[in-house]
Homo-oligomer: A and B are copies of this chain.
């Protein structure tokens, strides 16, 4: 799993003529061992604890590379912080976002996906991507105390 992703990035890097650097290896290791939907700042701070030399800019740049390579996906929720999640080829899902505890629940609904395509077709619109985010309170945050 993790090895496959590393391999995938190495292939992407090779194809693009990118150099192999210590920083990119470290950032990839941290990203792969991180929970879903990590913000750049969160990841940067985690890395900085054991690798103080690594800079903000490199983390930003490298996450964009991972996205280009297909390992990561950018998620823009309503808090002004870009987050990244692990991307699996061909996989797609949407998000329930708890505004109480910031938990994120993933879901996928084939019918919704199909209806979106029908709506687009009806308007002669060609879909490139979409985002469906449902904001509210998760079961835990709804519970009294």
List A residues 2-58 near B (Cβ within 8 Å).
Answer: none
Copies in the complex: 2
- With beta carbons under 8 angstroms apart, the residue of B125, B128, B130, B139 that contacts A132 is B130
Of A61-69, A84-92, A113-121, the segment with at least 4 beta carbons within 8 Å of chain B is A113-121
Interface size on A, residues (CB 8 A): 32
Q: Are the C-beta atoms of B109 and A125 separated by less than 8 Å?
A: no
List A residues 99-128 near B (Cβ within 8 Å).
Answer: 99, 105, 107, 109, 111-112, 115-116, 119-120, 123-128
- CB nearest neighbor in B for A119: B107
Q: Are the C-beta atoms of A98 and B125 separated by less than 8 Å?
A: yes
In angstroms, Cα B109 to Cα A116, docked, is 9
